[in-house]
Amino acid sequence: MIRDTPGFTPTVGHEQKETAGFTPDEVAKQEKTTAKKAKLQQQEEKKEKAKAAANPAPEAKAERKLLSPEERAAKLKQAQVERRAKLKQQKEEDAVEEAPEEELDLDVLAYQISIEDVEQYLGITVLPDDKTKLQRRWAQKLRDPFMRSLLESKQAMKHPYALIPRGPRYIKGGQAVQTSFVNMVRSFPQLFDNVAQTINKYKAERFFVAEVPELDWAVVSCEAINESRNKNFMEQKTVIKQYVQAFKANDRRIQRRKLIEALYDIIIVNAVTKENILCKSVDLTSTTVGKQNFACINFGEKGIRINDVNRQQRHGQMGLCPSW
């Protein structure tokens, strides 16, 4: 016979007394009754809904009997018209909220060059992706408060400005071509004073093949601004800061052009309008030549001329053309 474990008394079934207030059989019975009642209630609700659908209210019946098929169709059509009118009103209200305070007066600019102008007069194609980005940048340009400040300034607009779309590449003859210095020289040799001299002098410089314009719209001065003339490179930086302060802009908004940007702008304006910019002054660019000099450019009597000067040099016709 196995002895019981000390301190442990086993029980069988319900030999021990039930816990007070707890009867397992009664609880199970109560749960079944509750579930049955809930199911019956759901069935009754379904019957009521089906009855209501089959027997609509007297008012609804009367309306259905009164309206002919043509009248019902007209009523549906009227509801559609009202919905469309409401949507149109909402769109117009949204457009008013998003619209600028007033359109920019671009007629104050001396030249307005479009993407289509560039393609037509240069015989090139702007890449679709670049065109989309330019269109997006144009929308941003129109909302730019600094641009509005420039165009509305009577003092600034005494000086001629040009609106020009720039890009780092284009398609010509089915081939993608970089807008580099060497490619511009090859494509428009007739516009240069001395092509051979220009190539021989600068072909070893980094800008000759590597420098390209950034993809963007530029509003650029057609001639070196008077305040910057007869000043050296560092003194011209002070003039840029004064422009920044005058138009409450920042250094990134108003910049000195690179040589390729100045060359591109001259060629674009000439190709589209048959007129020349930088024919009365010289633009000292930010492009370095050698270790100490900076490239300068102008349109002389025989065409485009490119030279370079050191940072200390001054000249009465040499200044800078701010590019926005």
| Residue 39 domain-assigned (yes or no) | no
- Write out pLDDT tens, residues 242-266: 877 777 666 667 789 999 999 999 9
Instruction: Give per-residue pLDDT as tens, 24-76.
Output: 455 445 555 556 666 677 777 766 666 655 555 554 454 445 667 777 777 77
If one counts the domains in the chain, the total is 1
Q: What is the dihedral of CA 240, 245, 248, 250, to 10 degrees?
A: 40
- Domain for residue 147, yes or no? yes
How many C-beta atoms lie closer than 10 Å to residue 201's C-beta? 15
Q: What is the pTM of this model?
A: 0.68
The 10s digit of each residue's pLDDT in 141-196 is 888 888 888 888 888 888 899 999 999 999 999 999 999 999 999 999 999 999 99
Q: Does residue 268 belong to any structural domain of this protein?
A: yes
Percentage of the chain beyond pLDDT 90 is 54
- Count CA atoms within 13 Å of residue 115 on its CB side: 19
74 within domain boundaries: no
Q: Tell me, what amino acid is at 143?
A: R
Task: Evaluate if residue 16 carries a pLDDT over 90.
Answer: no
Domain ranges, residue 284: 106-319
In-domain check, residue 87 = no
User: Who contacts 300 (Cβ-Cβ below 8 Å, separation ≥6)?
Assistant: 193, 279
Tell me if 274 is assigned to some domain.
Answer: yes
Domain assignment present for residue 95? The answer is no
C-alpha dist (Å) from residue 114 to 61, 161, 165, 186, 309: 65, 15, 7, 23, 34
Burial class (CB in 10 A: 0-12, 13-18, 19+), 146: middle
Given a cut of 50, is residue 8 above it in pLDDT? no
Q: Would you say residue 37 lies in a domain?
A: no
Question: Is there a contact between 226 and 319 (Cβ–Cβ < 8 Å)?
Answer: yes
CA distance 178 to 169: 4
Torsion of CA 253, 257, 260, 264, to 10 degrees: 80
